[in-house]
Amino acid sequence: DPETRAAARRFGDAVRDAVDDLHGLVGMLRDESPGPARDLTGVAALVGDAERAGTEVELVQRGTPTVLPPMADRAAYAVVEEGLANAAKHAPGTPVTVSITWEDDALLVGVSNPVPDPLAEPVG
């Protein structure tokens, strides 16, 4: 029936989008081309890019940095990159906090921003 067909189409579109995102992430994790650092050493530059684009960003780092396996290092960078992109897309004009916390046995990476007030005047 048409309703089931429409639901299946939406599901298929969502799956294709997820696969495209996954391919992009895998490609980024495998990328060893020259250019800006795409690991935790490049997060400050990523934050600077977001600020130059008009986003208020606070970078908070805690703990003592340690050497990570290259794939984990690039994955942490990807989390920050995607988080900043999502904040710009879904909550433009709100301040963003990027947190990197080094623990004895873990690295915690987060990107957060306040939920925009749906009743507030649009920004821009």
CATH of the domain at 104: 3.30.565.10
Q: Reply yes or no on whether the pLDDT at 25 is more than 80.
A: no
Give me the number of domains the chain comprises. Answer: 2
Answer yes or no: is 100 within a domain.
yes
- 92 and 38: one domain? yes
- 16 and 38: one domain? no
Token pair in block for residue 34: 């020259």
- 47 and 108: one domain? yes
Mean pLDDT of the residues in the chain: 84
- 50 and 87: one domain? yes
Domain range for 5: 1-30
Chain position carrying tokens 């650092």: 37
Q: Residue 95 has what pLDDT?
A: 95
**CA-CA-CA-CA torsion for 116, 117, 121, 124, nearest 10 degrees?**
0
Describe the crossing of helices 43-52 and 70-90 by its angle, rounded to 10 degrees.
10
- 2 and 39: one domain? no
- 103 and 79: one domain? yes
Answer yes or no: is 73 within a domain.
yes
Q: Reply yes or no on whether the pLDDT at 123 is more than 60.
A: no
Q: Reply yes or no on whether the pLDDT at 31 is more than 60.
A: no
Here the contacts of 30-35 (C-beta below 8 Å, separation 24 or greater) are: 31/74
- 38 and 67: one domain? yes
Q: Which residues contact 6 (CB under 8 A, 6 or more apart)?
A: none
- 103 and 61: one domain? yes
User: What's the whole-model pTM score?
Assistant: 0.67
User: Residues 51-82: pLDDT tens digits?
Assistant: 999 999 999 999 999 999 888 898 899 899 99
